[in-house]
Amino acid sequence: MYTDGNNYPNIKKLPSDLENAIEHLSGNEVLLTAFREKIITSYMKLKEQELKDFNSEETFSKKDPITNWEKLNTLDC
């Protein structure tokens, strides 16, 4: 399990939250080229709205179990 990068100093850490992941995605030329800018832009718009909806109803905490919003909006079971 990757934890702090000390074992692999040349590997960058992935973003730890959706907001930072969206920000990094918007500048990733490899993914923009591979999936086309229109698809990436559409995906980012969807995830930004998802983040806005979540933040209007919940407060995220890594210590808490899954939220009601996540149960209703992200799980298919």
Domain ranges of the chain: 18-73
Average pLDDT for the chain? 85
* Whole-number pLDDT of residue 2: 45
pLDDT above 80 (res 31): yes
Task: Look at residue 74 and tell me whether its pLDDT is greater than 50.
Answer: yes
Please state the rounded mean pLDDT for residues 55-75. 84
**Alpha-helical regions (H) of the chain:** 18-26, 29-35, 37-57, 68-73
Within 10 angstroms of residue 12's Cβ, the number of other Cβ atoms is 8
